[in-house]
Amino acid sequence: MGLFDAFKSEPPKLSPRLALAVGLLFMMAADGEIESEEIGQLQSVVGGDGDLIQTAVKYLRSVKYEQFLSDASALLNSQQKLCVLINMADSLLSDGHADAAEQKTFANALQVFGYTEDGFKGHFETIALKNNRSIF
């Protein structure tokens, strides 16, 4: 037993609803900055459930992204995976740009959840249009 092992705690048990919130948080944190648009996106998706957000933050702090993707992929059905991906893409595009770290984070989720960029392209284009306020 290490000196600081007593301070470690088990991550919360992953559920489909928690996986959605955690996926969004990983997406938001990918570029090292959490923008106000991204926080608004998270709150709108989880319905302002503060307990869920706190649990998701605790999970994010204790589990690496790759492990989350593996666990979520085993837990979620195909509709839930697509829902998580669509919401992650929406969060990715909510601040108007997608830097390299965000793109890599999203590409990893696509791959682990069994999608390709070509297979997701239609969803991505719809989300990009939804977030393009400059057309008005």
Percent of the chain with pLDDT over 90: 62
| Lowest-pLDDT range of 28-32, 54-58, 85-89, 113-117 | 28-32
pTM above 0.85, yes or no: yes
pLDDT for 20 = 97
Average pLDDT of 93-118? 92
Output the pLDDT for position 34: 75
Q: Which long-range contacts (CB under 8 A, 24 or more apart) does 15-20 make?
A: 15/75, 16/75, 16/76, 16/80, 17/46, 17/52, 18/52, 18/55, 18/56, 18/59, 19/68, 19/71, 19/72, 19/75, 19/76, 19/80, 19/84, 20/45, 20/46, 20/80, 20/83, 20/84, 20/87
pLDDT exceeds cutoff 70 at 8: no
